[in-house]
Amino acid sequence: MITHHKRIGVFYLLSSLLFFLLGGAEAMVMRAQLSLPNLKLLTPETYNQVFTMHGTTMIFLVVMPVLTGLGVYLIPLMIGADDTAFPRLCAIAFWLQVGGGLLLYFSFAIGNAPNAGWFSYAPLTENAYSPGPGIDFWAFSILLIGAAIVASSINLIVTIATSRTSGMTIRRLPLFVWMHLINSVMILFALPVLVATLVMLLGDRLLHARFFDAAQGGSPLLWQHYFWIFGHPEVYIMILPGFGMISEIIPVFSRQPIFGYRSMAASTVAIGFLSYGVWVHHMFAVALGRTLLSVFAAASMLIAVPTGVKIFNWTATMLGGSIRFTTSMLFAVAFLLEFTIGGLSGMAFAAVPVDWQMTDTYFVVAHIHYVLFGGTIFSIFAGIYYWYPKITGRLLDESIGHWHFWLVVVGFNMTFFVQHFLGLLGMPRRVYTYPDVPWWGALNLISTVGAGILTFGILMFCANIVISLRFGAVAGTDPWNAWTLEWADGNTSVPVRSARPLWDLKHPEAPDWAHEQ
Amino acid sequence: MIWPRAKLGMAMLLLSEGVFFFMLLLAFVYFRDESLKTATATLRLQTTSIYTACLLGSAFTLWRGWRKVTIVLGLVFALGQGSEYVRLLRSGVTMAQGLFGTTFFTLTGIHELHLLLGLALLAALPRNQAAAMFWYFVVAVWMAVFAVVYLWTFL
Amino acid sequence: MPLGALSPHSPQTLVIAALFANILILSAVIFLIVAGLVAYAALRYRARPGDAEPAQTFGSKAVEIAWTVIPIVIVTGIFIVTVRAMALVDAPLQPAFAPDLVVTGHQWWWDARYPNGAIAVSEIHIPAGRRLLVEVDSTDVIHDFWVPQLARKMDAIPGRHGYIWLQADKPGTYQGVCSEFCGAQHAHMHFLVIAQAEPEYSVWLRRQAAPAARLPIPVFERKCAECHANSLKGPDLTHIAGRDTLGANLSKNTRANLALWIEKPQSVKPGNRMPDQQLTGAEVRDLTGYLESLE
């Protein structure tokens, strides 16, 4: 069995790319159906399956695996280890995740995909309202994928804890590793909540339990609480590794160390803790009483602070630097702006009465895509352009890269910015069609056209990956003149006395460890 | 504290499993008011206390290194729980019975599965410390379940 | 729903719109600051060929404290105005008095019950200018009652009651949608809130509470009453001819649409709970005529 971290890492990247294309196709199908009012390209049942599969795929089969894959590939290199702590577990986790994906898509193939949204509110997902196996497929798939995610998190934590090369103290870890460490601990505490919730749902559906069935004395509200106790940390789990990548990329292309290494790490720990105390903000539209809502509003606004200051740290890193706009850096800078927009629209939701208008509308669809696509996916693009030469020995083509970048930026913003307005104008989410209300048709059409442009950009990305594999410029071990151990050539032994061991090696006249931090 | 990898990995797993059981316990507590009547009518504190004592004893024997005795005590508990289940099911208390059945069987059933897995690990890996940690966890979870489901119902 | 949340027509939605406007302005300022700094950095510190490594800066405690404290002050301010707005907008969690209206979500329509016994399906009349306490319930899955020009949205959760203030400053027709995914036809669970001046409203309310204009015809008893006489299973039809729309605001209430609905409901709203009943042409004609008389 193949267990080496570099191979498993590449496997994760390839499987995520495949599912990204599937999830993207699902998105295009949705956008086509929504391009004009009252279209009948899809039946409501098909649309509902497609949007459920889109969300489930992107979260569980794209974002989480690709971030895991990058972690598995890079963390051992960054800490000077030979492999992860549990190589066989590493491999098993990958195949479990693939198995979950195959199970989920099998349900699609037999026309019985889940159709209740990626957060599957009960009692809609009880047997009475969702007969048929779709929801069962969904639950079992996510159980498999969830187990895989927990397994790989355990692996990463133990790897970071026990396999660091000498001199690599916790305070000298690359921020990429810090973010993954905190992320992995968050996963340990968040995923089991999802597992419990799914077990309870399957109990209801298969064994006639009554957890969530209001008609039988159960509590639909319990589902909402339990799901979001997982669901909120989950969204931070989906962005933290992205923060880690940006924290490596911006410094190297600005030729400056990250501004405020310590507070970057500390603020991330704060986010880790705080993220378990905000979940009710997904439920502000439920009658829970102003006191409870106010507490969670305060926590939700508070968590914006450690998240937001990172934007300042990254920007400050650029100031006083010498910035090279490679495609990787372009995506990293775009990330700053897109994630800021996403974070600000999130702040609007923390203001409860605004949430009372905007939740469950296209305003929230805009928000989630700004943080998950403009945030996470852009950081992944930046990361791929940055580490592709490490993985393949060749550079991705910069001209294609620039096409990819501009098509994606234009397409992405065109698709999702107008959705803020659609939400304000009253369009709810998860609707397979909509009536001919003023402006809804025009804005939806713009959004669909944007999605088409975005699709082109992504196809350029795929083309770049394939073409550069064969024809890309040969990269050498350290194409970006970077500073962390993954760029070491493997022959010279690099002493670790700071967070930038290669900088110290290249600049013996001004090493980091001589600087009082 | 420098732990060997397997033990650290197991500790991480147990942290996660702990959260999992906590959520199931919480669900039991959430529905406790509606379940109380059935609970008081059907649960048997004395019998279960005896089995619980055996399980607690098995943690002691494991700590002393007497693996075979541990497994025997664990099996006693498992069979005891099994007979409790049979008795409950025969008297109509199933998963579908109502909120008590739902929460009780989910919580204790999942625990039972972990217990059986723990016994298998102890038997298959006689000197493995991580397997021992798992067993301690299984006992600890049962003590929490016993306290919430049995003691809190009757005391 | 012309302009939805952007055209508030009640005191409550006005408060929310004002709060949103303030947050929007603040967000725009913050974004411009960030974008400005990023743009400045990109232009001023662009690498030029032959550049040496710049002097390395690692951070500044003072700066970091400043840009942590200032946002905390800002969010504290936002929190205070948020709590104030919540108090102005929100109805009590457990009101001490009976609601003026009970709105219930079903898969896939809304109905409203009035204290005098009237039931309105999909077209909820209210008196203009008065603040009403509305209870929001569900009989099956979680729905969400949202009429953006008039009120905050409220989840309709089976087994629980939510309460909102519903108020329309002026007479008019305001569009509403279900805002929680609730199954196959969630997209077609629209409703109207029709605010009327008091005299017209009183007339409507009295007539809506009156029994059906005609007794049910035999074919209705045989084929329709099982669901429609029990308004948990099918919408109340007592005054269906008084409605402008059918199928939860899906189509106009014309003879042709009504007949089509009766004959082939699955072709109009696929997945809805009314089965195609294989009615004969005569039965469809009779039923259409009967329902048309139920003003």
Asked which of A238, A266, A282 is the last residue of a domain, the reply is A238
**pLDDT of A406:** 98
Nearest to C271 among A44, A130, A426 (CB): A44
Residue A249: CB partners within 8 Å, gap ≥ 6?
Answer: A328, A329, A332, A382, A383, A386
AA identity, residue C152: R
**CB–CB contact A256 C141 (8 Å):** no
Using a CB-CB cut-off of 8 Å, the residues of chain A touching B96 are: 207-210
Long-range (24+ apart) CB contacts under 8 A made by C74-79 are C74/C26, C75/A301, C75/A302, C75/A304, C75/A305, C75/A347, C78/A301, C78/A347, C78/A350, C78/A351, C78/C23, C78/C26, C79/A294, C79/A297, C79/A298, C79/A301
Average pLDDT (B2-13) is 90
**How many Å apart are CA A410 and CA A417, to the nearest integer?**
10
- Residues A345-368: pLDDT tens digits? 999 999 999 999 999 999 999 999
| Nearest CA-CA distance, residue A452 and chain C, Å | 24
| Nearest CA-CA distance, residue B153 and chain A, Å | 20
pLDDT band at A516 (very low <50, low <70, confident <90, very high): low
**pLDDT of C231:** 66
Residue of B nearest to A199 (CA): B106
Residues in chain C where the model's pLDDT stays below 70: 231
Q: Which of residues 169-198 of C touch A (CB under 8 A)?
A: 175, 177-187, 190
Residue of A nearest to B5 (CA): A158
Nearest to C182 among A124, A290, A510 (CB): A124
Q: Which of A89, A204, A210 to mutate to test the interface with B (most CBs of B within 10 A)?
A: A210
Nearest to A158 among B5, B98, B105 (CB): B5
Q: Which two tokens stand for residue A123?
A: 């009692």
CATH superfamily of B45-154: Cytochrome c oxidase, subunit III, four-helix bundle (1.20.120.80)
Using a CB-CB cut-off of 8 Å, the residues of chain A touching C44 are: 319
Q: Which two tokens stand for residue A164?
A: 């660091």
Q: Which residue ranges make up each domain of chain C? A: 4-89, 218-292
Using a CB-CB cut-off of 8 Å, the residues of chain A touching C87 are: 290
**pLDDT of B126:** 86
**pLDDT at residue A5 above 60?**
yes
Q: Which two tokens stand for residue A229?
A: 């106790």
- Residues A119-162: pLDDT tens digits? 999 999 999 999 999 999 999 999 999 999 999 999 999 999 99
Q: Which of A354, A480, A481 to mutate to test the interface with C (most CBs of C within 10 A)?
A: A354
**pLDDT of C2:** 77
Using a CB-CB cut-off of 8 Å, the residues of chain C touching A359 are: 153, 179
Using a CB-CB cut-off of 8 Å, the residues of chain A touching B9 are: 85-86, 89, 154-155, 158
**pLDDT of A134:** 96
**CB–CB contact C46 A260 (8 Å):** no
**CB–CB contact A322 C140 (8 Å):** no
| Nearest CA-CA distance, residue B150 and chain A, Å | 20
**What secondary structure letter does DSSP report for C215?**
P
- Taking Cα atoms as reference points, which of A444, A432, A440, A324 lies closest to residue A385? A324
Using a CB-CB cut-off of 8 Å, the residues of chain A touching B18 are: 192
Using a CB-CB cut-off of 8 Å, the residues of chain A touching C272 are: none
The answer to whether position A403 is within a domain reads no
User: Domain count of chain A?
Assistant: 2
- Residues A37-67: pLDDT tens digits? 999 999 999 999 999 999 999 999 999 999 9
**CB–CB contact A197 B23 (8 Å):** yes
Any A CB within 8 A of B113 CB: no
Q: Which of A314, A356, A432 to mutate to test the interface with C (most CBs of C within 10 A)?
A: A356
Using a CB-CB cut-off of 8 Å, the residues of chain B touching A218 are: 31, 99, 102
**pLDDT of A515:** 83
Q: Which of A357, A439, A503, A515 to mutate to test the interface with C (most CBs of C within 10 A)?
A: A357
Any A CB within 8 A of C58 CB: yes
Q: Which residue ranges make up each domain of chain B? A: 45-154
ipTM confidence score: 0.95
**pLDDT at residue A24 above 80?**
yes
Q: Which two tokens stand for residue A326?
A: 């490679």
Question: B and C: touch, per 3+ CB pairs < 8 A?
Answer: no
Residue of A nearest to B13 (CA): A154
Q: Which of C6, C12, C79 to mutate to test the interface with A (most CBs of A within 10 A)?
A: C79
**CB–CB contact A218 B99 (8 Å):** yes
Any A CB within 8 A of B102 CB: yes
Q: Which of residues 100-139 of A touch C (CB under 8 A)?
A: 116-117, 121, 123-124, 128-130
H-helix or E-strand spanning residue C156: strand C154-156
Q: Do you know the residue count of chain C?
A: 295
- Domain, as residue range, for A219: 1-238
**How many Å apart are CA C81 and CA A440, to the nearest integer?**
31
| Nearest CA-CA distance, residue A274 and chain C, Å | 15
The widest CA-to-CA distance across chain B, in whole angstroms, is 52
**pLDDT at residue B155 above 90?**
no
| Nearest CA-CA distance, residue B28 and chain A, Å | 10
Any C CB within 8 A of A266 CB: no
What average pLDDT does chain A have? 96
| Nearest CA-CA distance, residue A5 and chain B, Å | 17
**CB–CB contact C16 A354 (8 Å):** yes
Using CB atoms, which chains have 3+ pairs under 8 A with B?
A
**How many Å apart are CA C120 and CA C206, to the nearest integer?**
12
**How many Å apart are CA B113 and CA C176, to the nearest integer?**
49
**pLDDT at residue A492 above 90?**
no
CATH code of C4-89, in short, is 1.10.287.90
CB-facing half-sphere around the CA of B31: CA atoms within 13 A:
30
Cα A349 versus chain centre, distance:
20
**CB–CB contact A154 B34 (8 Å):** no
Using a CB-CB cut-off of 8 Å, the residues of chain B touching A193 are: 19-20, 23
Q: Which of residues 25-54 of C touch A (CB under 8 A)?
A: 27, 30-31, 34-35, 37-38, 40-42, 44-48, 51, 53-54
The answer to whether position A300 is within a domain reads no
**Fold for domain C218-292?**
Cytochrome Bc1 Complex; Chain D, domain 2 (1.10.760)
**pLDDT of A517:** 54
**CB–CB contact B19 A211 (8 Å):** no
Average pLDDT (A212-230) is 95
**How many Å apart are CA A378 and CA A372, to the nearest integer?**
9
H-helix or E-strand spanning residue C106: strand C101-106
**SS3 letters for A130-184?**
CCCCHHHHHHHHHHHHHHHHHHHHHHHHHHHHHCCCCCCCHHHCCHHHHHHHHHH
Q: Do you know the residue count of chain B?
A: 155
